[in-house]
Structure 1
Amino acid sequence: MTTHTGSCHCGAVTYEVDGDIDSGLDCNCSICRRKGALLWFVPREALRIHQGEDALRAYTFNKHVIQHRFCGTCGMHPFGEGTDPKGNAMAAINLRCLDGVDLSAIPVHHFDGAAL
């Protein structure tokens, strides 16, 4: 298992996440489309925030089941938090905020979140 580091744009929020990136999810819902996020889902316990938890803000919409987390300083969305259909705590990591990840090597799956 690999440990990845990531941050928001200004560096106020830094974190690590454990796991092997097997794919990314490109969702076309109203918020993901606007953010341009490429998501990788992991168990919430795989995500460790090192600094800036106090800088994080949360936005929810629609069914209010996902907390879209963003830096209150730079506005970058490094991850979201919610639960999977079985009730397990999950994190949706924005792959574009991880350090040293070759996005062109990651298979991307498209999800029609706009249809929900």
Structure 2
Amino acid sequence: MVNETTDNRPVYRAACHCGTVQFSLRLTDGTRTARRCNCSLCRMRGAVAVSANLGDITVTQGKEALTLYQFNTREAKHYFCSKCGIYTFHQRRSAPDQYGVNVACIEGMSPFDFSEVPVSEGRIHPKDRVVAGAEVAGWIRYESTAE
């Protein structure tokens, strides 16, 4: 983790839908890491995620309400609020030193703030490919009709 006295990244507040789980975080590279994924879980949950280093998230309330979900290789750790069911963050399989954080949980942010979000190819995980690495499967686009 970066020394607190020299870390100029903003601290964000975040929470699940019901507010039981609350946490603070710093993003690794602002919202530039925004992405979706087309693996079986991400396809169903539909969240836009951004990255935070493991040491840059602090659960400030409701840690006992977090529920862990793991599947397939059981390497990634997906956390949900046990009361409202909202996905909050997950420890990434592709970058185990980082969390993917649900943008919709971050105060003042929405997945609809992004006009275009890359969709990572997750049907074959980057760690399981012959040539490892991220691959963009497509793009999600949003254009507001509000003036």
The two structures have a TM-score, normalised by structure 1, of 0.88
Hey, which of these two has a bigger chunk of strand by percent?
Answer: 1
Residue number in structure 2 paired with 1:98: 106
Between the aligned partners of 2:37 and 2:51, the Cα distance in structure 1 is 12
Between the aligned partners of 1:115 and 1:105, the Cα distance in structure 2 is 25
**Max radius of gyration: which structure?**
2
Residue number in structure 1 paired with 2:122: 113
Note the 1:22-101 alignment, pairs <5 A.
22-82=32-92, 84-85=94-95, 88-101=96-109
Kindly, what percent of the aligned residue pairs are identical?
27
RMSD between aligned residues: 1.8
- Indicate the structure whose relative CO is greater, using CA pairs within 8 Å and at least 6 residues apart: 1
Where does the alignment leave 5 or more consecutive residues of structure 2 unmatched?
Answer: 1-8, 126-147
Deviations 1:60-97 (A, max 9, x none): 00111111100111110010124555xx5211101111
Where does the alignment leave 5 or more consecutive residues of structure 1 unmatched?
Answer: none
Runs ≥4 in structure 1, deviation > 3 angstroms?
82-85
Equivalent position SS for 2:35: strand
CA contact (8 A) 2:33 2:51 kept: no
Equivalent position SS for 1:45: helix
**How many aligned residue pairs are there?**
114
